[in-house]
Amino acid sequence: MAVKKQTFEQAMGRLEEIVNKLEQGDCDLDQSLKLFEEGARLAAQCEKQLDEAEQKVSLLLEDGREIPFDREDG
């Protein structure tokens, strides 16, 4: 089964859900481990996306180029 890459916001939202479930302490050990593994993958994905964004911003600032902002609302 192919895993669709989530946006940063989707990954962070899911990570928050996982943290909340684990903090409640209602999960058994097996479920807790699965949630922890998923959370670790999501955290790594978010860190990678943040690093890539930071690199893009740094390159734009170094080159003296204007930073284009896409506006979704028109």
| pTM of the predicted protein model | 0.72
In a domain, 25, yes or no: yes
Q: What residues make up the domain containing 44?
A: 15-62
In a domain, 20, yes or no: yes
User: pLDDT tens for residues 32-68?
Assistant: 999 999 999 999 999 999 999 999 888 888 776 665 6
Number of domains the chain is built from:
1
In a domain, 40, yes or no: yes
Cα torsion 26, 1, 16, 33 to 10°: value is 40
Residue with the bigger pLDDT between 2 and 28: it is: 28
